[in-house]
Amino acid sequence: MPQIETNTIARVVVDIALDREFEYRIPDSLNDSVHAGSQVVVPFGRSKRDGFVVALSGHAQHADLKEIESVVGEKPLVGESLLELSRWIGRYYCAPIEQAVRCVLPAAVRARDVSFREQLFVTLDPAAQSDAFVDALRKRAPKQATVIEILKSHGGMFLQELCRQAGTTAAVVQALRTKGAVQAGTRTVRRRPEMDREILPTAPLDLMGAQKEALDMIRTSMDTGTPPAVLLHGVTGSGKTEVYLQAIEYALSQDGGAIVLVPEIALTPQTVERFAARFGDRIAVLHSHLSEGERHDEWHRIHDREACIAIGARSAVFAPIHNLKLIVVDEEHDSSYKQEEAPRYNARDVAVMRGAREPCAVVLGSATPALESYRNAKSDKYGLAILPARVDNQKMPHMEVVDMRVEAQRNDGKPCAFSKRLIDAIHDRLAKAEQTMLFLNRRGYASSFMCPQCGYVAGCGNCSVSMTCHTQDDTLKCHMCGDVRKLPERCPECGDSAYRMAGIGTQRVETIVGKLFPKARVQRMDSDSTTAKNSHQKILGKFRTGHIDILVGTQMIAKGLHFPNVTLIGVIYADMGLHMPDFRAGERTFQLLTQVAGRAGRGEIPGLVIVQTYTPFHPAIQAARRLDFPGFYDQEIEFRKELSYPPFTRLVCVTLRSRSAERASFLAEALAKAIEPLLPKAAIMAGPAPAPIEKARGYYRFQIILRSSAVKKMVDAVRTAVGNTKWPSDVTYAIDVDATSLL
């Protein structure tokens, strides 16, 4: 191919999934404006496309190159280190390079229809500052005088806030402009999601011995890069957050910045409050419940170095922090750090990789670490800091396991939602003005609608699951595809009116609690009750201030929250995820029970946790009862080793989807035959087989599951086989590297 020697060649990825970089010539007029990471507009075929410059080159591989048409913005949006990280994400997670580059930027930043908000900013003319002028004005135009006095004390204000404080309208300010007493011009106003909250500053707390040792290890990692990552394994209530805060303080003292990741949006308000109390306006918040404008402005506050600490969910791992010194991944075991759409990255693993590339220290914090992380720490790949006890000599909660089979026998063989032990414990807490949290990891009223006469069960037409009953709006809903239909008055099959709702969800628990404890103030917190903006913050605020006696919720109340007056936790149905067709089911159950137990007894009064289960002697439940993570790890790791499951191998799940089960099955068989000869010798291939939930959102799904310790060879085999396969338009595929869910 001809080589063109030039210094003005840009390699660009465009906003369609082609997994290719395209060469464009940089015109002389844009030579000083185009950099690696710049967003540009380029001609592509007969249209124009937005794209990102991923590299600049001194030569071109092709002649007759088209030119970049324009540059968006004044400076690059993506730094070189994040570009390199996105390349790694594309390679490792088998994603097109343009998808990987796009994932490091919020959609609100990429979109050109979201911009900064401009408002009128009013300032006082020097000639109008004399007392004589104000006194004269007060006699004939007192509202105008009030505006002048406010401006004298503030120096300048946005028009909207000025009118609010003066109790007047824009017409009064306009009258002053006509007189030349004030001047007005447009200024950018940042949309701040936390502006309406008053937060009192806090000072660093004295650390316990184990906390000091953990902080010293993190500081050493920041200074020397050894260890590259620190697993902070601390029991619930052991003061991990204070260690994070003081580690960030150390990073700031070195003119650095930090990123803090939390798994649940419900945790963000409380986390932001604690960090804002320590670091004030230096924090920025990034998560999906912000408006597009708020997300745009918060990201640019970081990009423009107005904020040096980013707090948020999964995607905040890509925050453009200048001189990044520390990344904290709180509750690092949580499955919500795994992205469900391409690129299917795990934010925890991306954080470790970004830490190695920047370089910066990475802290993985959890009371129940992922087995992969704990094994890395045990093998000295990570540093391990242990916080074995709660702060201020607080006792760990006492956990009781209630066998619900016995409770059913007492109830004439009928299953019941509440054991007598739990009911008595709630009565006791209400009498003492203490608070209770009830945990059930299923929303809705009942898990299925069924007819006892003909056996009909209301199933989703798009998915291989039953529909969930929601009595709040009398509907049946599919929690997989979102399909909604009206709750029927009779059985659609036989017409019988004696249908029943089987199973239990948070709505039903809330109803039962209301009947059992009519004087108690009850609130439900799940994804159905928190759709409004700031609803998480409002519910948790009411609970913190004692306006709620009993909080019923799903996993969003199970971790990271600190409420000193909560002395009782009730786990309604601990078996919920225990019998799923997933090798991680036991690990997830242990983690969830231990985390939810940690919400109890965080004040002066010891906590009690009552776990209701039909399998009381399951190893995961017994280990959780003892709050024994090392014991659970030792047992579970032997099971994983014997069956060659992670962390001893890496797992890749290839899923094929089609509206035709036959087409999906046929292509899955063909792809498996293409992959098999390319795999390393020790690799294990299972399938193709229907997914545990065979049909989802109208598509039939077939899976090929691969396991091998040689992850790169395994991924290369999949990439090659997929690339060599001719894909019909009605069959699609998804490659999930390090898959956390096989459903």
pLDDT in tens, 423-439: 999 999 999 999 999 99
561: three-class secondary structure by DSSP: coil
Residues 161-212 pLDDT 10s: 888 888 888 888 888 888 888 888 777 666 666 555 667 888 999 999 999 9
644: three-class secondary structure by DSSP: coil
575: three-class secondary structure by DSSP: coil
Angle (nearest 5°) at CA 97 between 94 and 101: 120
CATH of the domain at 157: 1.10.10
Q: What is the DSSP letter of 67?
A: B
415 or 683: which leads in pLDDT: 683
Q: How confident is the model at residue 307 (pLDDT cuts 50, 70, 90)?
A: very high
Give the residue from 347, 371, 391 where a domain finishes: 391
Residues 526-545 pLDDT 10s: 888 888 777 888 888 899 89
Q: What is the DSSP letter of 322?
A: T
The DSSP code sequence of 376-438 is HHHTTSSEEEEE-S-GGGPPPPEEEEEEHHHHHHHTTT---SS-HHHHHHHHHHHHTT-EEEE
> Do 611 and 657 fall into the same domain?
no
Q: How confident is the model at residue 347 (pLDDT cuts 50, 70, 90)?
A: very high
Q: Where are the beta strands (DSSP E) in 245-289?
A: 257-261, 283-286
Q: How confident is the model at residue 83 (pLDDT cuts 50, 70, 90)?
A: very high
Residue 270 lies in a domain: yes
658: three-class secondary structure by DSSP: strand
Residue 264 lies in a domain: yes
pLDDT above 90 (res 742) = no
Nearest Cα to Cα of residue 460 among 656, 662, 693, 741: 693
Total structural domains within the chain: 6
> Do 153 and 217 fall into the same domain?
no
Q: In a 10 Å sphere around its CB, with 0-12 CB exposed, 13-18 middle and 19+ buried, how is residue 642 labelled? A: exposed
> Do 571 and 509 fall into the same domain?
yes
Joined together, the tokens standing for residue 278 give 């320590």
H helices of 259-392, where?
268-279, 292-303, 347-357, 371-378
> Do 248 and 290 fall into the same domain?
yes
Joined together, the tokens standing for residue 419 give 């054991």
Q: What is the DSSP letter of 641?
A: H
Q: What value does the mean pLDDT take over residues 68-76?
A: 88
> Do 522 and 559 fall into the same domain?
yes
According to the per-residue pLDDT averaged within each range, which of 23-32, 141-150, 224-233 is highest? 224-233
> Do 634 and 602 fall into the same domain?
yes
CATH of the domain at 341: 3.40.50.300
Q: How confident is the model at residue 2 (pLDDT cuts 50, 70, 90)?
A: very low
> Do 426 and 525 fall into the same domain?
yes
Q: What value does the mean pLDDT take over residues 567-571?
A: 95
Residue 645 lies in a domain: no
Residue 723 lies in a domain: yes
Residues 709-741 pLDDT 10s: 999 999 999 999 999 999 999 999 999 999 998
Give residue 593's Cα distance to chain centre: 20
CA distances (Å), origin 218, targets 87, 224, 250, 612? 28, 10, 10, 39
Query: Do residues 702 and 689 lie in contact, with contact meaning Cβ atoms separated by under 8 Å?
Result: yes
Residues 95-152 pLDDT 10s: 999 899 989 988 888 877 666 666 778 888 887 777 777 777 777 888 888 888 888 8
Average pLDDT of the residues of the chain: 89
Instruction: Cis check for the bond before 227: say yes or no (omega within 30 of 0).
Output: yes
Residue 559 lies in a domain: yes
Residue 743 lies in a domain: no
pLDDT at 258: 97
> Do 467 and 481 fall into the same domain?
yes
pLDDT above 80 (res 298) = yes
How much is the CA Rg of the chain, to the nearest whole Å?
29
Q: What value does the mean pLDDT take over residues 49-54?
A: 91
Give the residue from 639, 673, 703 where a domain finishes: 639
CA distances (Å), origin 331, targets 343, 356, 393? 22, 20, 23
Task: Tell me which residue range forms the domain holding 461.
Answer: 445-504
Q: How confident is the model at residue 5 (pLDDT cuts 50, 70, 90)?
A: very low
pLDDT at 1: 42
The model's pTM is 0.87
C-alpha 519/C-alpha 429 separation (Å) is: 13
Question: Angle, nearest 10°, between helix axes 629-642 and 585-597?
Answer: 170
Nearest Cα to Cα of residue 353 among 329, 374, 334: 329
C-alpha 130/C-alpha 195 separation (Å) is: 33
Q: What is the torsion angle, in degrees rounded to the nearest 10, for the CA atoms of residue 179, residue 185, residue 191 and residue 192?
A: -70
C-alpha 608/C-alpha 428 separation (Å) is: 12
Angle (nearest 5°) at CA 248 between 243 and 250: 100
CATH of the domain at 673: 3.30.70.600
> Do 171 and 277 fall into the same domain?
no
Percent of the chain with pLDDT strictly greater than 90 = 59
pLDDT above 90 (res 92) = yes
H helices of 644-702, where?
661-675
C-alpha 199/C-alpha 275 separation (Å) is: 10
C-alpha 175/C-alpha 168 separation (Å) is: 12
Residue 692 lies in a domain: yes
> Do 434 and 572 fall into the same domain?
yes
Q: Which residues does residue 475 pair with via DSSP β-bridges, in sequence order?
A: 470, 486
Query: Do residues 569 and 608 lie in contact, with contact meaning Cβ atoms separated by under 8 Å?
Result: yes
Q: What is the torsion angle, in degrees rounded to the nearest 10, for the CA atoms of residue 423, residue 427, residue 429 and residue 435?
A: 70
Strands across the sheet with 117-124, in order? 156-158, 117-124, 182-189
CATH of the domain at 92: 3.40.1440.60
Residues 6+ apart with CB under 8 A from 609: 397, 398, 399, 400, 568, 569, 570, 571, 596, 597, 600
pLDDT at 196: 54
H helices of 93-239, where?
97-103, 107-110, 131-140, 142-154, 159-166, 170-179, 209-224
Joined together, the tokens standing for residue 35 give 């950099």
C-alpha 470/C-alpha 474 separation (Å) is: 6
Joined together, the tokens standing for residue 593 give 């029970």
Q: What value does the mean pLDDT take over residues 505-524?
A: 94
Lookup result for tokens 């019909």: 728
Give the residue from 374, 391, 408 where a domain finishes: 391
Lookup result for tokens 């960090």: 275
Query: Do residues 402 and 419 lie in contact, with contact meaning Cβ atoms separated by under 8 Å?
Result: yes
Residue 342 lies in a domain: yes
Percent of the chain with pLDDT strictly greater than 70 = 96
C-alpha 715/C-alpha 733 separation (Å) is: 14
pLDDT above 70 (res 7) = no
> Do 693 and 730 fall into the same domain?
yes
Residues 381-414 pLDDT 10s: 999 999 999 987 788 999 999 999 999 888 887 8
> Do 499 and 511 fall into the same domain?
no
Joined together, the tokens standing for residue 477 give 């809903």
Q: What value does the mean pLDDT take over residues 456-470?
A: 91
Q: How confident is the model at residue 94 (pLDDT cuts 50, 70, 90)?
A: very high
